[in-house]
Structure formats: C-alpha cells, structure tokens
C-alpha cells in the first residue's frame, strides 16, 4: 500500500513546488516590468524637460549618473495630468494628476551644462547624487527575469501535457512511450473468454506456444510471424483476442493506440516507437499491441501534402523496429488491430513484418449464441429466454452489439423492478439496440397510423409470397427514433453468399412498403426513403460489382479511388460517360422489375394485406405466428382456433345423429363369403310366382 502512495505523494509535492516557482516568477516579472511605472510619476523626454525648465514649471531637480544614462527626477510646482494608457494599457484612457517627473539624458558635457544653466537661470538648484551600485544587477535582471518567466510557463504547459498523457510531469518525457504495460501473469483474460471466434483463436495458438516454448521452434529453424494483423469490423473482439494471447502466454503486454505516436513536435513519434520497442525487448518475450494502427500506418505519399511529415517519420521508424528484431532470441511479437487494412502501407504488410493476417469477422449463429452465453453469465435470465432464438434473430451482429442487446434488456428489466430478465425484455433490448427507444407518446393522426400500418403490411406480404424471400419474424408500427415502424425478416438459414434470385426478392420486399401506400391510399410518403436507398445500393452493386447484368457483363466498374489513400487522385471513375448511362439504365431496370413483382404480389393478396394492416392498427406489434395466421386465415391465432371448434349439440341432435349412423343389416345376405344386397319386395314377388 505504501509503495502505491509514494509516487502519488511525490507527484503532489512536485506539482506544488512547480506552482510556487511559477507564482514567484510571475510576481518578480510583474514587479520588474511594472514596478517602476508608478501612477504618480510623469515620464518625460529631454526636450520636454528643457521646455518645462524654461517655463519655470519645475520646483526641484535631482541628477543620478550611471554608466550609460543620467536619471533626472524632480517635482513640479503644480500637479499635471498624465495619461495612463502608455504604462497601463488595461486602464484604458484614464488620466492621473502627478507632481513627480522622471527623464533620462545622455551623459555629455554639453547636455549637462545646458541643463544646469537653464535650471540656474530659473533659480532651481540641481542636486547631484552618486551613481547607484545596483545598476548592474538591474541590467542582469532585465535579461534573467523574462527568461525565467518563459521557462516557467513552458514547464507548466509541458508538465500538464505529460500528466494528461501519462508523462509523469517530466517536461522532457514527451518523447517517451505512452504504452500501458500489463503483466501477463496477472491478466485474467483467456481464450475461454473470447467466444464466437474459434478459427481466429486457432490462428493465435501458435503465437502463444512460441512465446511459451521458443526453443522448440528455433531448433527446427522455424520463424514465427513477427507481426499478427487482426482486421475486421469494429466490435468483433480484436482487442480482446490480443489480451487473451497475452493472458495465455503469461508474458508482459504493452498496449498503445496508433494515434498516441503522432504528436505536434517533429520526431516525437519516432522517439516513442524506439522507446516502446526498447522497453519491450528488456522484458522479452513480450507482446506489443497497437490498436487502430491505420492512424500511423497509412500509405506513405498520400494526399496533397509533402511526404516528409511527422506521421511518415513515425511509420519509417516502426518499419525499422519490426524488421528482423525477433532473431536475437528475445522474442517480441507485435499484434495490431484495424478495420481499414486497405489503407495500410504495403511495406508494413510484407512478410517479415505483419506476415500473418487474421480476419475477425461477424460470428455465425453458433458463434453469436456462444457470445451471448459469455455475456449472460452475470445476468439472471428467466426460463422463457432462449439464447439460440436470440442468436437466430440477430444476423450480422458482432460481439459488441450482442453485449449491448443484453445490457439494454437488463436496463429494461431494472426499470420495471424485476429480479430476472425475461424474453420480452430481450426483445425490447433488440429493438432499442437496433432503432432506439420506443416513442409511444408521439402524437400521430389516424390517417398517418393507417399509412404506416399498410406500409409495413406491404413489406410483410411481399416477404411471405416470394419464394426466396426471408421469413417475416416481426412487424410493428411503434415509432422508434426516426422510423415510424419496421418489419423484421430473417432467412431460415443464414446465407453467406446470396444468389441473384435472393437479391431480386430482397429488392421486391423493399419495394413493398411504398406499394402498400400507393395501392390503398394512392399517395407516396417519405417513409420509403430508406427502403429506396437500400434498394438502389443493392441494384448498383449487382451491376457494377457482382456482374449480374447481362447487358454490361461480368465487369467490375467500382474501384477504390479515395484521395486520402494516395491512389488515383482526381480520378472519380474508370469508365466512360456512355458506360455510366448504361449502368444507370440497368439499375433503373432492375428496380423497375422489383417494383412490378411487389405490385403483383400485393394486388393478388389484397385481403391478407388488409387483415395484417388492421391487426397492426389494433395490436401495434405482430410476431411470426400471428402474421402467418393472418395470412392464411385472416384472423389472429386465438380467433382462428376458436372458429374451428364446433358449438356443442343438444341431446336430441346427438341422438338423431346416432340413429342415422346405425346400419341396417336386414337387406344383406351372406353368399359364398360375399355380401349381396337384395330388395325384400322383389323377393316376395318371386315367392308368389313360385
């Protein structure tokens, strides 16, 4: 405990001492600059002094010679007004009446003789005092005090900057690394804490084994990757993977952000890189983790500026430090994370530096269920919560999104003073994470609510009718954020590579909302703007990226021409204007076909469209079972089940039905094992004939 407090106490004493020194410097400097500018002294020139002596305005004169000038002071016979703006700018144009004056003259015989003669002619005695011995010290202080003042201010500024960035208050420590060191032996993060990234963990097992048993690899002449680049969307657990590697290996772990290298002072970034790797080598084997490395590792020569800037110097030093430093047996492995690997400098990605790249993508349904189980360990879940069902309803969600869903569900349950998190809370948590909190108090007219209901019902109908459409899981007209409602449709099986048929059905489903408004009300609202935007992006990708246009063929027309990367500056596209027109025509044609398919689907199922819309107006939110029941029977599941149960019959009706079911065996004869029906009356006639 005492060891932890001593650095804090030392920093506190240093800070107090620094503030005291700065206060002394400021006070001394203020007194030096402004102490002689008393408000009761009128500073005049030599010519003004001679004029006032000739006009007999001065009462006494005193001369004090020095090495370079003679200071002349004295007293006026009458007070004079003095403007304070020259000596005290902060006082503005205020004036003061003074009786004292001060002037400086050159110590020549003629000037002194003129001054004495003029004073004598007006019966003014001139007193002469010896030169002051403090003149030399005054001159010395005139140079020292300003210097001390600026040094103190600089010390304060640099000390504050380094305290904010972990510099420890040392004004010369801004060239030191700001990496946070963690002891791998005390780290609690393990691979078991990283769920949904099984393949990624397998790639990093070799790194852990090398850090634990480096001799096994060196004896075989194997070279472990000097750097591992974790790339993928934000929130997929790249930082957590790096911490798990350090925890499993039990080695020191240095973590730093790419932006911490770059500073306003030239050469600071390169100095911090050198200091970081020197510290890591001292504690080798160790791990250096650089988060968001694209902040310092962007391609050199990018943009319009010069190439010799601070960021590029930092990158050059990083390239030097990573080139072959692991061959001395003191293994230091660099793990970096980024979601923009396309902008990194090629020299950074070559073998020998970041020669192993691990893609940390969004988990599949199995991975999402594993992630949910990890984040649900400290949350009491009710018996009706099915994490597998939650995983199936969250395609495309990464680990951070899933953690946010469970956290929102816990907050919803806490607001209602529940002791457990049930399925309804998790459903609300998914809605809040996706679209924001519900705005049930928003005032809407009945006309607007009807348009929203038929809009969302249109999406649902098209999704239910199309062969390759996703299964409609939920439809709601409860406004959230900027949306008035939404339809959640998910495929029965997660599709990683959608076909052109899936994409066309997705386009038709997006068109269903606008058609639901137009067919019923004959109007169009801005509510379909997001649907149109998504549909346009999909159609354009089909034409320019996926090669799904017969007219344009399998040609990619979308290149990476971003200015800040440094490639193809000033070039916005790689195709002609005629091709651009053809692309626009194809996009418009694909969207038109999707519009026609959606229109046919809704017009064919007008009754189902109306039934779902009316149910939305009544219940606001419908689940998959209710939507399917409305589509097939036009009623909610409980109403449809009640309609199928027959009313109980009376006793007389039951008896009548029972008698009607009794078979009459009187007209059945058994002959040679076969049943033969005969008529009794013809039989009697036959007997009579006999």
Has residue 627 got a pLDDT over 60?
Answer: yes
First CA to last CA distance, the chain: 130
pLDDT, tens digit (0-9, with 9 covering 90-100), for 155-198: 655 555 444 444 444 444 545 555 666 665 666 778 888 887 78
Whole-prediction pTM value? 0.63
Name, of 42-46, 297-301, 341-345, 588-592, the range with top average pLDDT: 588-592
Dihedral angle over CA of 311, 317, 323, 324, nearest 10 = -150
Q: What is the pLDDT of residues 104-147, one digit of tens each?
A: 888 777 888 888 888 888 788 888 877 655 555 666 666 676 77
What distance in Å separates the CA atoms of residue 223 and residue 220, rounded to the nearest whole number?
9
Residue 302's pLDDT band (boundaries 50, 70, 90)? low
Q: Which of 63-67, 426-430, 656-660 has the highest mean pLDDT?
A: 426-430
- Residues 6+ positions from 544 with CB-CB distance below 8 Å: 556, 557, 558, 583
pLDDT for 678 beyond 50: no
What value does the mean pLDDT of the chain take? 76
79-91 mean pLDDT: 62
- Render pLDDT for 263-297 as a digit per residue (tens, 0 to 9): 655 667 778 888 888 888 888 788 888 888 888 88
Q: Check whether 663 has a pLDDT greater than 50.
A: no
pLDDT given for residue 582 in this prediction: 92
Percent of the chain surpassing pLDDT 70: 71
CATH superfamily of 446-639: Peptidase M41 (1.20.58.760)
DSSP state at residue 305: S
Q: Return the pLDDT at 158.
A: 57
Looking at the domain covering 365-435, what would its CATH class be? Answer: mainly alpha
- Neighbouring-strand partners of residue 286: 332
By CB neighbour count within 10 A (0-12 exposed, 13-18 middle, 19+ buried), where does 332 fall?
buried
Q: CATH topology for 176-359?
A: Rossmann fold (3.40.50)
How do residues 311-321 score in pLDDT, each as one tens digit?
Answer: 777 888 888 88
Residues with catalytic function = 456
Q: What is the mean pLDDT of residues 474-500?
A: 82
pLDDT at site 247: 82
pLDDT surpasses 50 at 490:
yes
């Amino acid at each position: 405990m005492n060891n932890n407090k001593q650095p804090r106490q030392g920093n506190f004493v240093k800070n107090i001492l620094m503030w005291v020194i700065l206060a002394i410097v400021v006070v001394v400097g203020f007194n030096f600059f402004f102490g002689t500018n008393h408000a009761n002294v009128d500073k005049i020139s030599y010519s003004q002094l001679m004029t006032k002596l000739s006009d007999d305005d001065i009462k006494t004169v005193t001369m004090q010679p020095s090495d370079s000038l003679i200071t002349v002071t004295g007293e006026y016979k009458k007070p004079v007004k003095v403007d304070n703006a020259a000596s005290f700018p902060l006082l503005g144009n205020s004036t003061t009446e003074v009786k004292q004056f001060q002037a400086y003259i050159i110590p020549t015989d003629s000037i002194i003789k003129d001054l004495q003669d003029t004073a004598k002619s007006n019966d003014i005695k001139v007193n002469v005092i010896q030169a002051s011995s403090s003149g030399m010290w005054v001159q010395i202080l005139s140079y020292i005090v300003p210097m001390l003042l600026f040094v103190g201010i600089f010390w304060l500024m640099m000390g504050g900057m380094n305290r904010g960035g972990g510099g420890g208050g040392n004004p010369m420590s801004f060239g030191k690394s700001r990496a946070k060191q963690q002891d791998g032996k005390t780290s609690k993060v393990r691979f078991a804490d990283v769920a949904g990234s099984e393949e990624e963990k397998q790639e990093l097992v070799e790194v852990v084994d090398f850090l634990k048993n480096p001799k096994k690899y060196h004896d075989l002449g194997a070279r472990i990757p000097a750097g591992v680049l974790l790339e993928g969307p934000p929130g997929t657990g790249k930082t957590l993977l790096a911490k798990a590697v350090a925890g499993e290996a039990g080695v020191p772990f240095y973590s730093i952000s790419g932006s911490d290298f770059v500073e306003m002072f030239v050469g600071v970034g390169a100095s911090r890189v050198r200091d970081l790797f020197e510290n890591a080598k001292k504690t080798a084997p160790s791990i250096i983790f650089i988060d968001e490395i694209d902040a310092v590792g962007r391609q050199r020569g990018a943009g319009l500026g010069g190439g010799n800037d601070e960021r590029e110097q930092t990158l050059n030093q990083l390239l030097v430090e990573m080139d072959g430093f692991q061959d001395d047996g003191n293994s230091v492995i660099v793990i970096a994370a980024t979601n923009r690997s396309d902008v990194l400098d090629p020299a950074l990605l070559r073998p020998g530096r970041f020669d192993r790249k691990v893609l940390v993508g969004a988990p599949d349904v199995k991975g999402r269920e594993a992630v949910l189980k990890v984040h649900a360990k400290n949350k009491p879940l009710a018996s009706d919560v099915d994490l597998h069902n939650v995983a199936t309803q969250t395609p495309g969600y990464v680990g951070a999104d899933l953690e946010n869903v469970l956290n929102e569900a816990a907050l919803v349950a806490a607001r209602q003073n529940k002791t457990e998190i049930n399925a309804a809370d998790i459903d609300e948590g998914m809605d809040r994470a996706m679209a924001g909190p519900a705005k049930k108090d928003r005032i809407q007219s009945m006309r607007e609510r009807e348009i929203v209901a038929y809009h969302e019902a249109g999406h649902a109908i098209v999704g239910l009718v199309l062969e390759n459409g996703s299964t409609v899981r939920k439809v709601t007209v409860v406004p959230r954020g900027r949306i008035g409602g939404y339809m959640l449709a998910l495929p029965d099986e997660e599709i990683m590579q959608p076909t052109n048929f899936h994409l066309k059905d997705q386009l038709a489903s997006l068109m269903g909302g606008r058609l639901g408004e137009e067919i019923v009300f004959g109007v169009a609202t801005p509510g379909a703007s997001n649907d149109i935007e998504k549909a346009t992006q999909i159609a354009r990708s089909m034409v320019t990226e996926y090669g799904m246009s017969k007219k344009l063929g399998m040609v990619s027309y979308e290149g990476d021409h971003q200015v800040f990367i440094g490639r193809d500056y000033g070039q916005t596209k790689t195709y002609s204007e005629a091709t651009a027109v053809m692309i626009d025509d194809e996009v418009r044609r694909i969207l038109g076909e999707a519009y026609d398919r959606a229109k046919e689907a809704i017009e064919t199922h007008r009754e189902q469209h109306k039934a779902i819309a009316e149910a939305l107006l009544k219940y606001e939110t419908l689940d998959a079972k209710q939507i399917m029941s409305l589509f097939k029977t036009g009623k909610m599941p409980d109403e449809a089940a009640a309609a199928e149960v027959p009313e109980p019959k009376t006793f007389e009706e039951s008896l009548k039905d029972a008698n009607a079911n009794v078979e009459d065996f009187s007209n059945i004869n058994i002959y040679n094992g076969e049943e033969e029906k005969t008529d009794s009356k013809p039989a009697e006639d036959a007997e009579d004939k006999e």
